[in-house]
Structure 1
Amino acid sequence: MKTIKMLRTGALALSLLASGVMAAVSPQEAEKLGTTLTPLGGEKAGNADGSIPAWTGGLKPDAAPYVNNFLSDPFANEKPLFTITAANVEQYKSKLSAGQLAMFKRYPDTYKIPVFTSHRTASSPQAVYDAAKKSATTVELADDGNALRNFSQTRYYPFPIPKTGIEVIWNHTTRFRGENFQRLSTQITPQTNGSYAPVQMTDKLGIPQFMQGINGGGADNVIFYYKQEVVAPSRLAGTVLLVHETIDQVKEPRLAWVYNAGQRRVRRAPQVAYDGPGTAADGLRTSDNGDMFNGAPDRYDWKLIGKKEMYIPYNNYRLQSPKLKYDDIIKPGHINQDLTRYELHRVWEVEATLKTGQRNIYAKRHMYFDEDTWSLVEVDHYDGRGQLWRVGEGFAMNDYQHGIGTYASIAINDLLAGRYIVMGLVNESPKGAEYGVAMNMNEFTPAALRNDGIR
């Protein structure tokens, strides 16, 4: 009988491995959330010397004035503790990424990292915390990590206590983005001398659980609906992109369509995925560079290296201020680092290596995720020769009005070309991002694209 039980147990284990399913954490381990861990899985305690403080709940909605949908800086009066430059970078290199070190080498006279007092500002609504705790004990990886089981019950942070690299990726992909939002943003791809022509876009993001017209189970495999329309310059105006972002993108690939204003036609757009070219990006980013990383994880092996302390872009309220003009931000080689803010925080470190037989222009990505928000803040991109090629930085900040970890902007610096792209700028927009916008599924259908794109 003992032998039979052992055989049955072994057969069950092999069956689970074959189906690609990994179990969630135990209820006992999930009890750490909100006690020794933050509700989203960060370490609640500070570090040994106090340079990283304990998490005490993050910023409240009244942390600073909220004017015309722009977040004021709660730390506007603070000065840098010190500034890392090419002259002193050696003494700080243990807390910097390879990409940051490469930026000092590429731009020794202009690149700098101003380091400020660390503030753990992350906060989210209680409903999001409750969902993360439920996710911890119910959501499982399926299909070799390319899908989530039971995720439709919670919708956020499937693995707040991650054990593998792919689980960290899923936390970033499914993090809380607020309710439906829209904004007018600007993307800029400067030449090496700093000259640029801005591209303006309207962005709309619909979250299934906050939308009208969702027909039941049709949204179970959808994380969000996204629509982007180019409104300037005139030569590009009228081009509209529509995306239905699916969870299991191997079983049901991302659904994407583009309305071409010149042809006045709506076409399926399978190229809007993986390393397909980004919209109006002048070849400086791929589709999966959006949001620092997005899309199906199936082409990479994801290795969880662990956690470390690192100087990362954090609390970058000044960088999204409407008091700044794009001329203040855009400089040759990289954005104006005097306007940025870095702090010491703990990050999850993940290395992505392209699988044998798969294709992507990035053969390896070294990634760093903020422990409090799961936002990806630093990515080093390597080409097929193993050479460091592009450095991605997400200038993180916490939207204390809505409880969202977001970005003031995202920059991807091409070390070889000496150029960069910066996305998501709103400084010269009439107002900041609007949340809680009423949206209907009818707005996110291919049939609606042509009406959106008429000039």
Structure 2
Amino acid sequence: MHQKLHQLCLAAAASCLLVGQVSAKGTAEEVARLGKDLTCVGAERAGNADGSIPAWSGKWLGKPPQVDFKGTGGHPIDPYPEDKPLFEITAANMDKYANRLSDGQKALFKKYPQTFKMQVYQSRRDFRFPDSVCEVTKENAAKAELIDDGEGILATTGGIAFPFPKTGLELLWTSSVFTFRPYTEELISDNAYVLADGKINWGRVKSRNLASHLDPKKHQNTADNNQSSFYLNETLLPERDKGEINTGMEWWNFKTKPRQSWRYDPGTRRVRQSPGYGFDMSFPGTGGSITVDEVRLFNGTGERYSWKIVGKREMYIPYNTYRLHSPNVKYADLLTPGHANPNHQRFELHRVWVLEGTLKEGFRHLYGKRVMYIDEDSWLMMMAENYDARGGLWRTSMMNYFYAYEANTWQAGVGLYHDLQAGTYLAFNLVNEQRGGYTLNTGKLTDKDFGAEAARRAGL
């Protein structure tokens, strides 16, 4: 391991432990650091040695004073409209920045040396979580634990699960399941599968998501193993799949209550259960370009992999990506061959956790190894690399988040999923040419809007 990577490993993960079955709770000394030299969710408050990562300010909760925000349902509004790139990374100068690039980014430079570039902006750490998130995180730091071989969790919802992750599974739960995100989400989005020759296969989906435990008024104790989340996706394009509905729900223990899912088939007008929905099944409407469990880079149970914390690094990651979702950016300009137009993307230098999953013996999956890069401030997965069974880097992905003012937290925007072997990519959850953007935290969705009966009603 590179010496710098050793130096950046936190004391909380000092030995970069392989995942075990026993959770190690935060010590009294660790918990006491929250809100002091660490932010209230466990990120390093200070900047880095050369000042290229600033100290965390957390000066804004919700809408910044300079933003003319009309309410939820619109496109994201950039709070930094005057920012210009500090510099640009290209295939010609990438070696200069190699220690702050992921293997996936390096692979994109090598595959598209004439067109792929990264515009690096000033790093911004200005948004914070509500006080309730801080309070719950402090409680979880001392008490949260994994159970049933890491398939279940005992914690209080509404905060971060493990601000001092000791094992790979603790970091996985914190970054994929136990994040603090909007509790209701509604949108119509476009999916563009861009082929190597630049031709585009289009999809369109109407989505609804509910995580009622993230409503600040409805914190849960996961020991009750209530439903943790609900989803319903209705296919609008392509025409051959129009009217197909996939819906389901999850609980706080994948072992005792696995994900339940149903599919409405418009041809037969019947609803059927989809047993085992997840893992490396093809996500509907994406032409097989992503698996179900790589939406938002990873979701669902991590049972098929052995997970370990590699350490922490300073890396250039997508951040404050408001412009990428602007209605002023048209698909014809954005969706260039090989990769999205770099002129509309924003990268910043941040500290990230590096999480690695290796497929267990006796289990199957398209991906033999997975690597995730997790932002320390938000605990969200920002980038991922997926390797084939022979160990070759196959696909590399980037999630583009922005802070949603109405939700006081970060919202997942477009995901860019690159197939390095085929030369294709998927731009997932585009909203630029939709009438609106993301409708969040309206409180209108209930559990009755999901499941088999909801799919049947929606399909009639």
Fold-level similarity (TM above 0.5): yes
Q: 2:451 aligns with which of 434, 445, 448?
A: 445
Number of the residue aligned with 2:166: 163
User: 211-220 or 183-192: which moved more?
Assistant: 211-220
Q: CA deviation at 1:187?
A: 1.1
| CA distance, structure 1, for counterparts of residue 436 and residue 80 of structure 2 | 21
- Structure 1 counterpart SS, 2:241: coil
The answer to whether structure 1 residue 146 and structure 2 residue 119 are counterparts is no
Gaps of 5+ in 2: 1-19
Matches within 5 A, 1:211-360: 220-360=225-365
Q: Which letter does structure 2 place at the counterpart of 1:444?
A: F
State the AA in 1 paired with 2:199: S
1:370-409 to 2 correspondence within 5 Å?
370-409=375-414
C-alpha deviation, 1:445, in angstroms: 2.5
1:189 aligned to 2:190? no
Measured on the aligned residues, the alpha-carbon RMSD in Å equals 2.2
Return the letter of the residue paired with 2:445: M
Task: After superposition, give the CA deviation of every residue in 1:315-358 in whole Å (9 maximum; x if it has no partner).
Answer: 11000111122222111111111100000000001111111111
- 2:400, 2:412 within 8 Å by CA — same for their partners in 1? yes
Q: How much has 1:148 moved relative to structure 2?
A: 0.7
By how many angstroms is 1:249 displaced? Answer: 1.5
How much does 1:232 deviate?
2.7
User: Contact 1:174–1:223 at 8 Å: present in 2 too?
Assistant: no
1:58 CA displacement: 4.8
Distance 1:47 1:84 in 2: 20
SS in 2 for 1:160: coil
Q: 1:121 to 1:288 in 2, by over 3 A?
A: farther
Scaled by the length of structure 1, what TM-score is found? 0.91
- CA 1:37 to 1:214, structure 2 compared with 1: closer, same or farther past 3 Å? closer
Q: Which amino acid in structure 1 is aligned with residue 448 of structure 2?
A: N
Cα separation, 2, equivalents of 1:123 and 1:256: 34
Is this contact kept in 2: 1:141–1:148, CA < 8 A?
Answer: yes
In structure 1, give the amino acid aligned to 2:167. T
CA drift of 1:212 comes to 12
Q: Which residue of 2 aligns with 1:37?
A: 38
Aligned residue identity for 2:42: G
Amino acid at match of 1:383: D
CA-CA distance at 1:141 after TM superposition: 1.3
> Identity across aligned pairs (percent)?
37
State the alpha-carbon separation in 1 of the partners of residues 268 and 126 from structure 2.
47
Comparing 413-422 and 199-208, the one that deviates more: 199-208
TM-score by length of 2: 0.90
Cα 1:218–1:98 change in 2 (3 A) is closer
Whether the aligned pair in 2 keeps the contact of 1:211 and 1:440 (CA below 8 Å) is no
1:78-102 CA-partner distances (Å, limit 9, x unpaired)? 1111100011111111100111000
After superposition, the Cα gap between the structure-2 partners of 1:137 and 1:217, relative to the gap in structure 1 and judged at 3 Å, is closer
How is 1:62-73 mapped onto 2 (pairs within 5 angstroms)? 62-63=63-64, 64-67=67-70, 69-73=74-78
**2-side partners of 1:447 and 1:407: how far apart?**
28
Cα distance, 1:394 vs. partner?
0.9
Distance 1:42 1:204 in 2: 31
2:60 matched residue in structure 1: 59
> What is the alpha-carbon distance in structure 1 between the residues aligned to residue 240 and residue 308 of structure 2?
43
Give the corresponding residue for 1:3. Answer: none
* AA in 2 matched with 1:207: A
Instruction: After TM superposition, give the deviation of residue 407 of structure 1 in Å.
Output: 2.8
Other-structure match for 1:25: 26
Contact 2:61 2:130 in 1 (8 A): no
Rounded to whole Å, the distance in 1 between the matches of 2:414 and 2:206 is 15
Q: Is the 8 A contact 2:354 2:372 kept in 1?
A: yes
1:1-12 alignment, distance < 5 Å:
none
Within the candidate set 91, 97, 100, 1:92 is matched to: 97
Verify the 8 A CA contact 1:241 1:259 in the aligned structure 2. yes
Distance in 1, Cα, partners of 2:401 & 2:439: 18
Which residue number corresponds to residue 12 of structure 1?
A: none
C-alpha contact (below 8 Å) 2:203/2:286 kept by paired residues: no
Q: CA offset at residue 197 of structure 1?
A: 3.5
Alpha carbons 1:185, 1:425 under 8 Å: kept: yes
For 2:107, what is the secondary structure of its paired residue?
helix
How many corresponding residue pairs? Answer: 434
Are 1:362 and 1:384, in contact at CA under 8 Å, matched by a contact in 2? yes
Deviations 1:111-143 (A, max 9, x none): 101001100134222212211111111110112
- Computing the radius of gyration over CA atoms, which structure comes out larger, 1 or 2? 1
Give the SS at the match of 2:201.
Answer: coil
Question: Which residue identity is paired with 1:94?
Answer: N
Contact 1:413 1:421 in 2 (8 A): yes
Amino acid aligned to 2:78: D
- Work out the CA distance in 2 between the residues paired with 1:216 and 1:349: 29
SS at match of 1:226: strand
Residue aligned with 2:453, SS: helix
Residues 413 and 430 in structure 2, CA contact (< 8 A), matched pair in contact too: yes
**Contact in 2 for aligned 1:213/1:441 (Cα 8 Å):** no
Q: Does residue 132 of structure 2 align to residue 131 of structure 1?
A: no
Task: Note if 1:412 corresponds to 2:417.
Answer: yes
Task: Determine helix, strand or coil for the equivalent of 1:189.
Answer: strand
Whole-Å Cα distance in 1 between the matches of residues 457 and 165 of structure 2?
44
1:199 aligns with 2:199: no
The 1-side partners of 2:229 and 2:94 are apart by 41
Secondary structure of the corresponding residue to residue 31 of structure 1 = helix
CA shift in 2, pair 1:404/1:27, >3 Å: same
Do the aligned partners of 1:123 and 1:400 also contact (CA within 8 Å) in 2? no
